[in-house]
């Protein structure tokens, strides 16, 4: 049995055998997955073919988020599910959540609906929610071996933008729902499904979903968020801050000698920005040694990454300004009172100000930090019943369970912090392939995930796991 931190798995997994009738249902639904293999691959390819690019990306080809949601709605309605599509209300979310993680000012949702659906059978037992996002990052044909929204099948993989992040997870969830129907199995309890927009730009779609669950008093006992984890069981995800660091200089002809800046000479904003970047890398080294930046379920400490640099306006002039876009990671243990990354924001601000004091120009012209995004972190105890159920379900279908955290942000925090829903992050595909050219998903991993989701549903809703 694999594990990140082996003692933990031994601690939380009990030696117990599921009832024979439950295992019979598992074998039946897994056989249905094998029998309907081609149809399940078609679901994945159909989702990829919708260019549901989040509109914030400059290389957007025109978002088909609504068309993708309509496809999912039709799929579920054909199974007699009750489906609701709605466009989140930014003004209402502003009133309730301004300044909190998940809320992003200026976001609009015209033609960008969320979807929440419920299975037709209502049970008296537990409930489970399968959730994911339909939006993807931008893509164009440049560098791809096939068009990014063609969903080509080649060498046992499906290629396309979103194959990993996260049309694969969404398709596997729909496939698990379909497989239960094809196997004529109706688990006790309630099964819910949600697909949201705007995850790739802050998570406001999931904030709207969590607000709806809370406001309507919907009882959700546990949720699976299908982000790519390579089928590892993740009870933890990092929080992410996006910051824009503005460094000011003074323009001047780049090819001539200048007097000191006190006498009106030019100051290269790019050179000053590079000094700050070097100091931030020194801070990264300090973080690498600090226990507060590490977690036993993550392979490396939190880091500050430079994601983008913009500076200069002419090849013959020194830059009068340079913008540096930062991606800053934080842990659940570092959350502020709102559940966000306020403590880490202050840490970065204090550090940048301290560095600026060591440079005469920056001392008089201090860098400015504009915070663009706070995507919250998430954690539940690894011995939570939902985590244990996922481990048991993977073992039941002969997969080797691994418990570890997700290094990125995912939309789990809002569901827990706003709606009180415990979440496990589990999905097909390797996160490192997300957002890349030639993004692709292994078909065998995808089909294993379909079986895993169906088995998790059966286990979580059964009386066996509720004793």
pLDDT at residue 2 is higher than 50: no
Q: Are 149 and 212 in contact (CB under 8 A)?
A: no
In the block, residue with structure tokens 């009172």: 337
The C-alpha atoms of residue 387 and residue 8 are separated, in whole angstroms, by 12
> Which pLDDT does position 8 carry in this prediction?
52
pLDDT of residue 141: 84
Coarse DSSP helix, strand, coil percentages of the chain, rounded to the nearest 5 percent? 40, 20, 40
Long-range contacts of residues 147-156, Cβ cutoff 8 Å, at least 24 apart? 148/439, 149/48, 149/49, 149/50, 149/51, 149/61, 150/49, 151/44, 151/45, 151/46, 151/48, 151/49, 153/41, 153/45, 153/443, 156/442, 156/443, 156/444
Domain boundaries, the chain: 6-236+377-466, 239-375
Instruction: List all residues 6 or more positions away from 282 whose beta carbon is below 8 Å from its beta carbon.
Output: none
Percent of the chain with pLDDT over 70: 94
Task: Strands of 144-292 (E only): list them.
Answer: 152-154, 157-159, 190-196, 223-225, 236-237, 239-248
Q: pTM higher than 0.85 for the full model?
A: yes
Segment 176-197 mean pLDDT: 95
Write out the two tokens for 453. 């989701």
Residue 135 annotated as catalytic: yes
- In the residue annotation, 407 being an active-site residue is answered as no
Say how far apart CA 450 and CA 36 lie, in whole Å: 11
CATH code reported for the domain at 239-375: 3.30.70.360
**Helix boundaries (H) for 155-219:** 168-182, 204-215
pLDDT at 57: 82
For β-strands 114-118 and 236-237, DSSP reports them as unpaired
Task: Compute the Cα dihedral for 354, 357, 358, 363 and give only its sign.
Answer: positive
Distance (Å, whole) CA 156 – CA 418 = 40
Write the pLDDT tens digit of every residue in 272-317: 999 999 999 999 999 999 999 999 999 999 999 999 999 998 999 9
Bridge partners (DSSP) of residue 371 are 243
Q: 239-375: same fold as 6-236+377-466?
A: no
Q: Which of 190, 199, 227, 374 is catalytic?
A: 199
Strand locations in 11-103 (E): 82-86
Is residue 156 left, alpha or beta, with left meaning phi > 0 and alpha meaning psi from -120 to 50? left
pLDDT of residue 58: 60
| Three-state SS at 384 | coil
Q: What is the structure's pLDDT at 339? A: 87
pLDDT greater at residue 332 or residue 3: 332
The 10s digit of each residue's pLDDT in 337-353 is 888 999 999 999 999 99
What 8-state DSSP symbol labels residue 411? T
Q: Which of 152, 137, 127, 52 is nearest to 421 (CA)?
A: 127
d(CA 425, CA 225): 5
Q: How confident is the model at residue 188 (pLDDT cuts 50, 70, 90)?
A: confident
Largest CA distance in the chain: 86
Q: What is the rounded end-to-end Cα distance, in angstroms, of the chain?
A: 25
Lowest-confidence pick of 11-15, 283-287, 327-331: 11-15
- Token reading at 209: 């979903």
Rounded distance, CA 414 to CA 169, Å? 19
Strand partners, 82: 118
List the catalytic residue out of 135, 165, 200, 411.
Answer: 135
Which fold is adopted by the domain 6-236+377-466?
Aminopeptidase (3.40.630)
pLDDT of the residue at 3: 45
- The predicted model gives 31-35 an average pLDDT of 97
Question: How many Å apart are CA 29 and CA 162, to the nearest integer?
Answer: 26
Give the pLDDT band of residue 14 (cuts 50, 70, 90). low
Q: Would you state the pLDDT for residue 393? A: 96
What pLDDT, in 10s, does the model give residues 41-96? 999 999 999 999 999 886 555 689 999 999 999 999 999 999 999 999 999 999 99
Is the pLDDT at 125 greater than 50? The verdict is yes
Kindly report, residue by residue over 195-238, the tens digit of the pLDDT: 999 999 888 999 999 999 999 999 999 999 999 999 999 999 99
**CA–CA distance from 210 to each of 48, 93, 156, 204, 394 (Å)?**
26, 11, 37, 10, 27
Give the mean pLDDT of 24-49: 97
* Residue 24 tokens, joined: 């019979």
Instruction: Compute the distance between CA of residue 368 and CA of residue 389 in angstroms, rounded to an integer.
Output: 47
In this structure, are strands 223-225 and 190-196 parallel, antiparallel, or unpaired?
Answer: unpaired
For helices 443-461 and 385-396, what crossing angle results, to 10°?
130
């Amino acid at each position: 049995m694999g594990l990140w931190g082996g003692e933990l798995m031994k601690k939380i997994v009990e030696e117990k055998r599921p009832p024979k009738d439950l295992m019979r249902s598992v074998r039946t639904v897994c056989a249905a997955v094998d029998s309907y293999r081609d149809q399940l691959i078609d679901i994945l390819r159909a989702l990829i073919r919708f260019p549901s690019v989040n509109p914030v990306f400059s290389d957007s080809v025109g978002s088909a988020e609504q068309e993708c949601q309509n496809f999912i709605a039709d799929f579920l309605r054909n199974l007699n599910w009750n489906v609701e599509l709605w466009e989140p209300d930014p003004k209402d979310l502003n009133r309730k959540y301004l300044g909190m993680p998940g809320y992003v000012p200026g976001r609009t949702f015209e033609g960008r609906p969320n979807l929440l659906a419920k299975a037709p059978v209502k049970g008296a037992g537990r409930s489970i929610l399968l959730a994911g996002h339909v939006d993807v990052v931008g893509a164009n044909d440049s560098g791809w071996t096939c068009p990014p929204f063609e969903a080509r099948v080649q060498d046992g993989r499906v290629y396309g933008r979103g194959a990993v992040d996260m049309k694969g997870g969404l398709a596997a969830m729909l496939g698990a729902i379909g497989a239960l129907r094809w196997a004529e199995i109706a688990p006790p309890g309630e099964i819910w499904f949600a697909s949201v927009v705007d995850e790739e730009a802050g998570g406001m779609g999931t904030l709207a979903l969590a607000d709806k669950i809370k406001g309507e008093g919907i009882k959700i006992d546990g949720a699976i968020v299908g982000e790519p984890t390579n089928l590892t069981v993740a009870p933890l995800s990092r929080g992410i801050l996006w910051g824009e660091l503005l460094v000011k200089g003074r323009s001047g002809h780049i090819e001539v000698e200048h007097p000191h800046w006190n006498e009106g000479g030019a100051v290269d904003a790019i050179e000053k920005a590079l000094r700050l970047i070097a100091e931030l890398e020194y801070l990264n080294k300090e973080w690498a040694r600090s226990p507060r930046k590490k977690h036993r379920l993550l392979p490396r400490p939190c880091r500050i990454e430079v994601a983008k640099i913009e500076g200069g306006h002419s090849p013959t002039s020194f830059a009068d300004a340079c913008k540096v876009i930062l991606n800053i990671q934080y842990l659940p243990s570092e959350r502020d009172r709102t559940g966000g990354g306020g403590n880490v924001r202050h840490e970065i601000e204090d550090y940048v100000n301290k560095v600026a004091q060591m440079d005469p120009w920056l001392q008089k012209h201090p860098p400015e930090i504009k915070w663009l995004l706070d995507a919250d972190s998430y954690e539940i105890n690894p011995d939570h019943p939902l985590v244990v159920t996922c481990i048991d379900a993977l073992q039941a279908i002969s997969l080797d369970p691994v418990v570890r955290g997700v290094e990125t942000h995912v939309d789990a925090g809002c569901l827990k912090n706003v709606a009180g829903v415990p979440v496990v992050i589990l999905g097909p595909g390797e996160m490192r392939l997300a957002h890349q050219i030639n993004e692709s998903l292994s078909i065998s991993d995808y089909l294993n995930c379909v079986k895993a989701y169906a088995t998790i549903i059966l286990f979580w809703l059964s009386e066996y796991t509720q004793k």
